[in-house]
Amino acid sequence: MQQEILEILRTNSRISDEELAVMLGTDVDSVKAVIKDMEEKGIITGYKTLIDWEKADQSVVTAFIEVRVTPQRGRGFDKVAERIYQYPQVKACSLISGGFDLFVVVEGKTMKEVALFVAEKLATIESVLSTSTHFVLKNYKDNGIIFDRNGRDEREAVVL
């Protein structure tokens, strides 16, 4: 049941325990127990909302930043990653394979604000060798959700 609950919550975190129970053909108490267990174990780390900020008329600028760093003896990349992800402007930070080491997602109100953050904060961290900043111009799909899809039902109302 754990897997099934996660599948549903992943696309709709607002669903009630009662609704979940009906969908999965089980009782509310079992659903509550499984969710509580997953929260305690840290399998579920939070519930958030996917927002198309453009439509909300709030300017949010997102940049994907590739960062090359020098790993530290005994600490690998963890130490420098920690220095980076502590900033509230950093929304995501991952160690990646390939030509770069860390992949960092930064959000700000304007391009200038993000650029300054990179120049003044990220680039100046001691083990950071270089950064490459890519601003997001348009979001097509995020977390499995296609943004600009008209929600219209294209089917004929009645066929046979």
Beta carbon of residue 23, minimum distance to another protein (angstroms, whole number)? 4
Q: Give dist(CA 129, CA 127) in Å, integer.
A: 6
Contact footprint for another protein (CB under 8 A): 7-8, 19, 22-25, 153, 155-160
Beta carbon of residue 95, minimum distance to another protein (angstroms, whole number)? 30
Closer to another protein at the Cβ: 55 or 155? 155
Q: Closest Cα to residue 132, out of 115, 112, 109, 156?
A: 115
- DSSP H stretches of helix in the chain: 2-11, 17-24, 28-40, 78-85, 111-117
Closer to another protein at the Cβ: 126 or 156? 156
Closer to another protein at the Cβ: 137 or 160? 160
Beta carbon of residue 118, minimum distance to another protein (angstroms, whole number)? 36
- DSSP H stretches of helix in 59-108: 78-85
